[in-house]
Amino acid sequence: MISTGIDVGARNVKVVIVNDGKVVAKSMVPTGFDPSVSASDALRKAIEQSGLAESDIKQIIATGVNAEMTSHATGKVSMVRAMAKAGTYLFPNAKTVIDVGAEDARAVKCDEKGNIADFVANDRCAAGAGAFIEAMTRALELNLEEMGSLSLKAEKAIPMNAQCVIFGESEVVTLIHQKTPKADIARAVYDAMSDRISSMVRRLGINPDVVLIGGVAKDVGLVSSLKSKLGVDLLIPEEPEFASALGAALSSALEHIEDRVISLPKVEMGDGDNGKGAKKEYWRWPEYRKTVEGMDPKKAKIISAGIDVGSVGSKAAVMLDGEIYTWAIMRTGSNSPESATKILNWALEGTGLTEKDVHYIVGTGYGRVNVPMAKKAITEIACHGRGASYIWGPTVKTVLDVGGQDIKAIRIDEKGKITSFLMNDKCAAGTGRGMEVIADLLSVPIQEVGAHSLQVEKDPPPVSSTCVVFAKSESVSLLRKGWTKEMVLASYCNAMSLRMHELLNKVGIEPNFVITGGQSKNIGIVKRIERLIGFNCLPLPQNRNCELDPQTAGAIGAALFSKALYEKEQRA
């Protein structure tokens, strides 16, 4: 009997062909945007490898998060059923099977016959899945193989919060800036992930023998950490990434099978960039600098500067006697001190000034403690309040700062002093980094996202996910259902606006209201926030020599603090 299992996962499609209980072929291809195309390609490759003809393949059982996209499947099984079947087939005494995929993780308790007795799954965040490891390897500038091996050389255990993939990246960058050895950081990543997985498994109950399947089962770092957290050894098949596809193939006898000839259409697999070179970075905001005309730094008594090293963007503002003179915005690199130096030098470029000419510098933002030329570090909350008051004037009462990885709702007085504030601390789904992920997915330049999102007659329901990784998957699913890019962007902007509005409600919204940070330039967010609060944001004032950029509010606030601190020094 010939049966075929196909696991259509979030990242890869795996196919296993079984003939009379023996695996005769297997293949794996990236899932890509269209899982049906990828599934056909993977099936064809497996059939060619098996030496069988297409007409021999009459049973195809699909499983995985995109199983419904496999139109030529003759049956489907749930992911937990496939993993249980594979786990107990490969290891007959198995009682617990753990599967860690790219964007989710689950565990199954099996009875003595290999049937499902109970199961659990993560359904709130991808921080306990393969996407978490991939994101952390990028932050550490390693590949997956290096990451796992390096973690085994760690000398110290470091606590790390794995509640969010994006926040996890920030924490890794912070540890790098603190000169923590990469081996210790790698171990911290695996320990944090293992904590989440083991917590999930313990809700189910750990019944040896324990089998680990899925692509991450090949990662020696995770395996070592998970063994320690669970307190048991792990049984791992030779090719764990194919286990669920094998389980689907073995499940064919349990399904109602339609006896028909499988016909696979010819497909063309794209290369992601149409052969035209490197993939375009749609997520990247334009970098620029500006100098206000008509100002002479030689006549200034006090030259002050603020450097805002954010999690995503670095901004520098230079002021002459408390008036903005020049500013610059660029992407933050992996090294905060280097980013601070680059952004200040760029802001001063062409002015005739150097760092030595600046009387006082304050650092702010995510990397404020790593600004080498700063005499003082001040929180971005205080700086955004002061900067907003400078840009819009003393009538501003409420500030919404949407950063790369957090949101802050701030109340200020007429001098820009903070009276109260709240910020998100659980997920980055409502932040600028989340919007960058969606822009890149849809191939829409980040600066055009807002306008595109408003090109719908009526806002669709907001994406329901509260996780950036899950929101990306949900967006892909909506596109596959026929949604336009504009509809998906409207849905995501709607979801972001609702999260921001919830935060504003908690701190209390009082006119006049302004938005700072990168998303202040997203008209799709601005318009939806205005609808929710019932009044408009203050427009940028036109009474200065040029229109100021709300993205530089933190740097401007820091420069104003610099002036005040320098004056205080001179009086002492």
- pLDDT tier at 258, thresholds 50, 70, 90: very low
Domain boundaries 1-78+241-270, corresponding CATH code: 3.30.420.40
Residues sharing a CB contact under 8 Å with residue 539, sequence separation 6 or more, in sequence order: none
Arithmetic mean of pLDDT, 33-39: 82
Domain boundaries 283-393+541-572, corresponding CATH code: 3.30.420.40
* pLDDT exceeds cutoff 80 at 461: yes
Both tokens assigned to 411: 């109340």
pLDDT of residue 397: 96
Read off the DSSP letter of residue 235.
B
- How far is CA 134 from each of CA 142, 148, 189, rounded to the nearest angstrom? 9, 11, 11
* pLDDT exceeds cutoff 70 at 567: yes
* pLDDT exceeds cutoff 60 at 200: yes
pLDDT of residue 109: 92
Closest CA to 445 of 278, 271, 275, 286: 286
- What CATH fold (topology level) applies to the domain 396-538? Nucleotidyltransferase; domain 5 (3.30.420)
The pTM (predicted TM-score) of the whole model is 0.70
Residue range 306-363, pLDDT digits in tens: 999 987 899 999 999 999 999 999 998 767 889 999 999 999 999 999 999 999 999 9
The rounded distance, in Å, linking the Cα atoms of 91 and 236 is 9
- What CATH fold (topology level) applies to the domain 92-236? Nucleotidyltransferase; domain 5 (3.30.420)
3-state secondary structure of 103: coil
Residue range 377-426, pLDDT digits in tens: 999 999 999 999 999 999 999 999 998 778 899 999 999 999 999 987 55
Strand-pair category, 323-331 with 96-100? unpaired
- pLDDT tier at 487, thresholds 50, 70, 90: very high
88, amino acid identity: T
* pLDDT exceeds cutoff 90 at 289: yes
pLDDT of residue 444: 94
Q: What is the residue-wise DSSP string for 283-298?
A: TPPPPEEEE-TT--GG
Domains 1-78+241-270 and 92-236 share a fold: yes
Arithmetic mean of pLDDT, 218-229: 94
The rounded distance, in Å, linking the Cα atoms of 401 and 503 is 11
Domain boundaries, the chain: 1-78+241-270, 92-236, 283-393+541-572, 396-538
The rounded distance, in Å, linking the Cα atoms of 517 and 313 is 10
- How far is CA 332 from each of CA 63, 329, 384, rounded to the nearest angstrom? 41, 9, 18
* pLDDT exceeds cutoff 80 at 125: no
Strand-pair category, 303-309 with 313-320? antiparallel
Average pLDDT, the chain: 87
